[in-house]
Chains A and B, each alone.
Chain A
Amino acid sequence: MEFRTMSRRRLLGASLGGAGAALLGLSGCGSDHGSVSAGTDHLSIWYWNGALSDKLLAVSARGVPGVPGLKVKGSPIAGDYKSKLRTSMAARAYVPDLACANSDVSLFFPDEGEFLDLRKLGADALEDQYLDWKWKSGISPSGRMIGFPLDAGPTALYYRRDLFEKAGLPTEPADVAAATATWDKYLALGRTLKSRAPGKPFLVSQISYVFRMALYQSPKQFVDADNHFIGDQQHVKRAWDLAVETYRQGLSARVLDSTPDYNAAMGRGKVASMITAVWAIGGLKDVAPKTSGAWRLTALPGGPTNYGGSYLTITRYCRDPEGAFAYLKWLLGPENQLKSYQEMALFPTTPAAYSKPAMRKPDPFFGGQIPVDVFGPAAEKAPVIFFSPYEDICNTPVFQELTNVETLGKNPEKAWRDAMNACERTLSQQGVS
């Protein structure tokens, strides 16, 4: 009896001690660097599915070519990637050595110390291989380069050649580009389209695309480098007015993205053109497979720009910064960017790749047109834009009000004032005015 009680207590004590040690281990183990790869023979890189080439990740997990002894293993992070990365950084534990960052890399500028300055690791020597605007967008206002160019999102006007033809409009990419050189011409074409093409197709799925593209054609956005709110100025108002004008002329199908209604509208030819980035091709092919061959691509009305595209960062917890930079140089060099394009449709940020045969394959979805003929020049001519850390919180209320205008019929003047008030209120909470 005595022996049994003791052993039971010992068992309890041992298991509790074990649980306690495990808990301590959770918080403490490997905290000498805070890197998730501490105690292993490889570096770790976090990405979301589709952000990096699986084939190249498989190669670097065995060993990065040209860098003896260096292994880099990728961890696809499911769910809310941004929150998970921020959580690990807030906890200063289990932070990856390298991490992908999305087009909103500027959100990290206030915490730029969390990332290594890639210039100090020798990035400057690579600058001329990459798109100028993309390179600059990874550099914070203080001059620290935290984001290395991963992929780009050059934009184009996607249009339904068949519907254009039936409306008696130009059909060839060069002619359509000339007919839609400005936003006003584009809207005029939309009116013709709606009155003459069968089924009265709309020009755009929703007016927020007009706003987004017109705003991205401006080097200035909502907040400038000195943390001043400039979103109430002409460059934003112009984009807003264009979007509202599109609504007034009845050229918007007024369907929200990634809803069943959007899918139906695209599949049934209710929307005859799209103004968006290269990465929308995959989604369009999924949503409207029956329209294959009918679409064409040409230059964006009002000039080229970029929408989206990711970056690669090296965190300050990285166990081997030189190794990580060597890996980055290998993974994002022109050769492997070309491979990533072939495998994952990641549009290269190295313009040298655009002329390679692998990128010049005709796409039957676009009637045999070579997409890079449109997207390549757009990527090379896109403007340098300054994105502050506050663009998202300003975009959110403006897009909300545009939705309110086109779906609820809200008065555009009032919507604009409400949007500006919401921007200023949220910004003042962040110390921006």
Chain B
Amino acid sequence: MKRANIEECVLAWIAEGVDAPADEKRFDELALALFRHQYEHGEAYQRLCAAENRNPSNVEHWTEIPSVPTGAFKRARLATFPVEREVRTFRSSGSSSAERGELHLDTLELYDASLLATFGAYICCASDPLRFLVLAPSSRDAPESSLSYMFDRAGHEFGRGAPSFYIDAGGWDAEQTIADLEKLAEPAAVVGTAFSFVHLLDELASREIRLALPEGSRVMETGGFKGRSRELSRAELHASIEAGLGVPVSRIVNQYGMCELASQFYEATLRTGEPTHAKSVPPWVRTRVLDPATFTDVSPGETGVLVHYDLANTGSVLAVQTSDLGRRLDSGFEMLGRLAGAEERGCSIAADALLGSR
């Protein structure tokens, strides 16, 4: 099957929405076809597969497709097309370009389709167009940020009017954010990074302001704190948002995504009205929870490393291994945080840190 045919099939599946059956045979056929394409056209990926002695002739099920650690996206161009066809590159956050993972795209069609299908289903929930207030830079200010792209794209697709972005190169415009929040008269989607919400909440507290956003408003937060603000548990953050913005926790959603994946994962809180820790997996994606030692699936409920298989990742690699810990639930998976750094290794670790970037 050619890539164009695979993409056509994946787009058709995405068009059926997040409630479409997660048909196993359908996924397996598409994943194996996509693996063949990525193996044949991705030089770097082929080398990774060769190291594991895997190739399209001996991979018979999607679970056997070699996964690529997110760190590898920092080391090699994992793309199945030449550089000149690139239309967009998303880069993970990091202190220098050498430390940033890159997702190269020669088309945004699948990326957009997956993004809009999940954002629409889990955040907008068929509501009337919402006012979008974004605690993140716009994609014009942060063209390499997949998160800014998502907010921009979703805001224009589902929003009433253009989305408002409150962070740019000059920093966060607290005055404007709070002024806009205070004068909201109709339901809004307030979206942004978790640490930006902490800054907003701290600012509101310092001004002794407690907001009550219009009924029907919702909040989506994503990402960790990475030392950019004080750290809160997810439950504490949501409780603080409820107290500070007047949005009940039943309308606050955590999203989990990464630069290396085209698809994202959401809690179904807004769809069910019940807060949940479970991240829903769209039908065109699979998430496995693996034992780090054996790389076999752990039993349901047990903790392991998350590995995602995303059919919307057509131009790079579909199987991405994270350093995130999680556990499988009936309705998806629960994200439990990132694996802490490797245990101290006697007296060799500092030198390792010293040279680790090589």
Q: Do A and B come from one complex?
A: no
Give me the interface of A with B, judged by CB distance under 8 Å.
Answer: none
